[in-house]
């Protein structure tokens, strides 16, 4: 691993550090070849700007690798009681779990849920 890559990974904030600043979409899969992971990535691919305007950070846990946060995979799997298969969880800025699914989330559900959150409504006034 290059020094730059190691530094970039070390610089990722933890979920605890994101609390009150960012909403987090956790996408967990047993492997990079998981079809549900590929589908969730495809769905989110065209939604980047809308996710960003909603202060959404995507954290992927694939096997024992984490992308998007400085936490370790075992710590996140324990904290959110992640099963062995695919799981997607939307976490609010307050750190609470808002949605959980064993299937990929459609962007309409994410938008609807986030837009109904009190902190999101307060931010749009």
Residue 23 forms beta bridges with which residues? Answer: 56
pLDDT band at residue 120 under the 50/70/90 scheme: confident
pLDDT recorded at residue 125: 46
From 104, 108, 94, 84, select the one nearest 26 (Cα to Cα). 104
DSSP state of 82: -
Beta strands in the chain (DSSP E): 23-29, 56-62, 65-67, 87-91, 97-101
pLDDT in tens, 46-91: 888 899 999 999 999 999 999 999 999 999 999 999 999 999 999 9
Rg of the chain over all Cα atoms, to the nearest angstrom: 14
pLDDT band at residue 109 under the 50/70/90 scheme: very high
- pTM of this structure: 0.87
CA 73, 77, 83: angle at the middle one, nearest 5? 130
CA 38, 87, 42: angle at the middle one, nearest 5? 20
Q: How far, in Å, CA of 88 to CA of 102, rounded?
A: 6
């Amino acid at each position: 691993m290059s020094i730059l890559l190691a530094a970039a990974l070390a610089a990722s904030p933890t979920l605890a550090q994101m609390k009150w600043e960012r909403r987090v979409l956790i996408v967990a899969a047993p492997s990079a070849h998981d079809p549900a992971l590929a589908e969730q990535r495809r769905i989110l691919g065209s939604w980047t700007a809308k996710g960003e305007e909603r202060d959404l950070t995507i954290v992927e846990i694939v096997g024992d690798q984490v992308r998007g946060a400085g936490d370790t995979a075992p710590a996140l799997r324990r904290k959110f009681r992640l099963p062995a298969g695919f799981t997607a969880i939307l976490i609010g800025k307050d750190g609470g779990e808002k949605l959980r699914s064993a299937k990929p989330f459609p962007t309409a559900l994410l938008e609807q849920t986030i837009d109904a959150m009190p902190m999101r409504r307060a931010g749009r006034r």
